Structure 1
Amino acid sequence: MAEHLCLLGDANSVHLRRWALEMATRGFRISIVTARPQPLEGIEQIVLPPVRRSADWLWRVGAARRAVAALAPDLVHAHYVTSYGFLAARIGRRPLVMTAWGSDLLLTPERSALLRALTGWTLHRADLVTGDSLDLVAAADAYGLRRPAVQLHWGADMARFAPADWPARAPFEIVSLRSWEPNYRIPVILQAAAALHHEAPQRPLHLHLLGGGPDEAALRAQAQALGLAQVVSFHGRLDDAGMAAVLARCKASVSVPASDATSVSVLESMAAGVPVVASDLPANRQWLDADRRLIVPVDDATALAGALRLLRDDDTLARQVSEHQLARMRMDGDRRVQMDRMAALYRELLADQHPLRR
């Protein structure tokens, strides 16, 4: 009989959905307990009452406990420590895995001593904690876990996100795959694009904004005010095939959040052979060591424009960066390899909990 894995997380997140489908292909029966539902074919979901503010998580414990009891899974895995991780810790079913997503360990606990204490209490209820970057793993280990946290990232689909022939790409097209919300600093990308466009209006330039999000109206207004109406395409959320098609047109991918762990969009850009310009964060430095001139300070539109100018004006450099980043992805960025590792960790935990399974 297949092991039953219950995921606690946002079912409307592409990352959780990919995780669920990857584990289903590895022989697990999957169910999801979520406060943000979206149907996923072949996978059972139990929906919690909506969460509209952080304090609501405190009042979802009973519903989450009933949901997990009804499902009776062999293993529980909570995604995002300070929300679903808290629920899973309160439920108390084991084995319990928690995956930190970034802000839940890098930002939230720093807001108050109470939140830090609650985060520590939550983490100590897990049998295994994973994070997708070295700084995230270090942040988890700082709480004195019983077992060191494991670095395991989401990876990229190396078959789907494959490099296109470089000469087929348009003269200079830029893409951002990040969501349209404050942390991802899309206004800074627009400012940098405006600087490039206005300094050389005769040179072809186009910016593709993918991801979608709550700031759409403000971003469209900013693009209009900056004179970029004909330069920017607001694509919104695209599926993997749509993202890959846009990446195949581009010679630069931009990811400049204020806070982040390993970004799947960065990995997908690297896998597609598109040189990445990123903000100066530990996780980005961990992956992007091809040319440090393409690592820029947070909120520095001038530096971002300068990095993009390098890629626009030096095709040899752009190709070298593309080749280096692609080689890095082929070495340790394949989603299949990462999900195989995770499946093995699940089965190790189950064997430890039930020795007769060995």
Structure 2
Amino acid sequence: MLTEQLLAPVPGGTGRYTRELAAALAATAPEGWTVTGVVSRHGDPSAAVIPGVAGPRVLPLPRSALIAAWERGVPLWPGGDAVHAPTPLAPPVAKRGRSLVVTVHDTVPWTHPDTLTPRGANWHRKVIARARARANAIVVPTAVVAAELDQHAPGPAPVTVIGHGVPAALASPPDPVTATVITERLRLPEHYVLAVGTVEPRKGLDLLVTAMAQAQAPNLPLVVAGPAGWGGLDLAELADQAGLARDRLRVLGRVSDTELAVVLHRATVLAAPSRSEGFGLPVLEAMAAGVPVVHSDAPALVEVAGGTGTLVPTREPIALARALREVVDARGDHGAAGRRLAESITAARRRAAGFTWTRAAEALWRLHVDLHRSARAELR
């Protein structure tokens, strides 16, 4: 399994996917199979160490040279009888008698190229199209992405939908002592609106800041958990421009999983105003934690939430502000609104329980084992 994303400056959601899926694959490996992580040459590959996963094995080329080699069709095989690429960074073609599966997380390079750098959008379109043409199979996280991929990057590689999962550490409340220590260290407010994700244009955090400054918004602080990404979004500056008081914005930056568990379980409501998503892990994780979700009408978020969240149109901060206010008010309501919200939270927990990394790994193993048998049969 290529675990290169774990060594990226900002691993993001694909980094979490890589780590969680690799660990689950190792834990569910069929008899005779082992899972080894593979990375390009780095001075310190320790960030790609995953419990239960062998390696990481280091390829002879640094990242930039590896990308260039694969772009030029150099058949540098990462090793193993089967390779899983959890991002579009993958060998140009499967080795004879062996299989290659590539995960494509979204079709943003086609549908929302303005939310990526021009170079990033071009590169992703190229490598995704190549994978669709030459890999043995493509994995996507939602049916939405599968349909969009057929539209924008058709090809012979079959597409399988395999959803993400929720780590046990995020589904269950942290122990009280840990929660108290982390709450004090991060200076978390008693009640707050939470957003989780890399701070970049696609996540819609600029819209959220604008929404929270409106008179229709709940009178709560906004807490943002996630590292800074590309695009140079300065949330504090955006807050000043929108008229949101500085004491109502708390930007935590990158947090550990243990910290995220505390931040998530203490939240009053999760806001997910993304312009586009392929899946939306924070939405699923909030559902599992029993935190109500207000999300945009990005199709993948609609699919993941399954009607258990509060839906708002993308790019409409007033609608977002009102929806957040309604959810916050309902949390303290003992009447019909409170009961409806409680029912939605229960339904969300039940839906989230169907998404596990173990289930995702088992589905991926079935795909890999079947492809491997076919590949070996072709040699005979």
Per the shorter chain, which TM-score range?
0.7 to 0.9
Q: Which residue of 1 aligns with 2:138?
A: 129
* Conserved? CA contact 2:169–2:258, under 8 Å: no
Deviation at 1:191, TM superposition (A): 1.3
Query: Relative contact order: is structure 1 or structure 2 higher (C-alpha 8 Å, sep ≥ 6)?
Result: 2
1:327 to 350, 363, 366: 350
Q: Which residue of 2 aligns with 1:305?
A: 321
Aligned equivalents of 1:246 and 1:64: distance in 2? Answer: 45
Deviation at 1:262, TM superposition (A): 1.0
Q: Which runs of structure 2 are paired with 1:117-266 in the superposition (5 Å)?
A: 119-142=128-151, 143-146=153-156, 148-158=158-168, 160-162=170-172, 172-195=191-214, 203=219, 205-214=220-229, 218-225=234-241, 226-266=243-283
Aligned equivalents of 1:298 and 1:35: distance in 2? Answer: 41
- CA offset digits 1:136-165 (Å, max 9, x no partner): 112334455446311102211245323689
Q: Which residue of 2 aligns with 1:3?
A: none
Higher deviation after alignment, 37-46 or 264-273: 37-46
Deviation at 1:260, TM superposition (A): 0.9
2:368 to 322, 327, 346: 346
Amino acid at match of 1:151: V
Is 1:44 equivalent to 2:56 in the alignment? yes
Aligned equivalents of 1:104 and 1:123: distance in 2? Answer: 16
Q: Which residue of 2 aligns with 1:14?
A: 16
Aligned equivalents of 2:99 and 2:141: distance in 1? Answer: 20
Q: Which residue of 2 aligns with 1:89?
A: 92
Count of matched residue positions in the alignment of Structure 1 and Structure 2: 333
Instruction: Decide whether aligned partners of structure 1 residues 321 and 158 sit closer, same or farther in structure 2, where only a CA change above 3 A counts.
Output: farther
Query: Alignment RMSD, CA only?
Result: 3.6
Higher deviation after alignment, 310-319 or 89-98: 89-98
Amino acid at match of 1:19: L
* Conserved? CA contact 2:17–2:86, under 8 Å: no
Deviation at 1:286, TM superposition (A): 1.1
Aligned equivalents of 2:122 and 2:6: distance in 1? Answer: 30
Q: Could you say what secondary structure the match of 2:266 adopts? A: coil
Higher deviation after alignment, 298-307 or 318-327: 318-327
Aligned equivalents of 1:65 and 1:31: distance in 2? Answer: 19
Aligned equivalents of 2:40 and 2:57: distance in 1? Answer: 7
Tell me the TM-score normalised to structure 2 length. Answer: 0.75
In structure 2, stretches of 5+ residues that fail to align are 8-14, 176-187, 332-337
* Conserved? CA contact 1:105–1:139, under 8 Å: no
- CA offset digits 1:308-342 (Å, max 9, x no partner): 01101122143222112111112x21222112211
Instruction: Decide whether aligned partners of structure 1 residues 99 and 266 sit closer, same or farther in structure 2, where only a CA change above 3 A counts.
Output: same
Deviation at 1:206, TM superposition (A): 2.1
- CA offset digits 1:62-94 (Å, max 9, x no partner): 79744x3xx53111122333xx14xx2256563
Q: Which residue of 1 aligns with 2:28?
A: 26
Deviation at 1:8, TM superposition (A): 6.0
Instruction: Decide whether aligned partners of structure 1 residues 45 and 187 sit closer, same or farther in structure 2, where only a CA change above 3 A counts.
Output: farther
Instruction: Decide whether aligned partners of structure 1 residues 80 and 106 sit closer, same or farther in structure 2, where only a CA change above 3 A counts.
Output: farther
Instruction: Decide whether aligned partners of structure 1 residues 190 and 279 sit closer, same or farther in structure 2, where only a CA change above 3 A counts.
Output: same
Instruction: Decide whether aligned partners of structure 1 residues 234 and 170 sit closer, same or farther in structure 2, where only a CA change above 3 A counts.
Output: closer
Deviation at 1:118, TM superposition (A): 6.8
* Conserved? CA contact 2:102–2:138, under 8 Å: yes
Deviation at 1:179, TM superposition (A): 0.8
In structure 1, stretches of 5+ residues that fail to align are 1-5
Is 1:80 equivalent to 2:87 in the alignment? yes
Q: Could you say what secondary structure the match of 1:43 adopts? A: strand
Instruction: Decide whether aligned partners of structure 1 residues 114 and 236 sit closer, same or farther in structure 2, where only a CA change above 3 A counts.
Output: closer
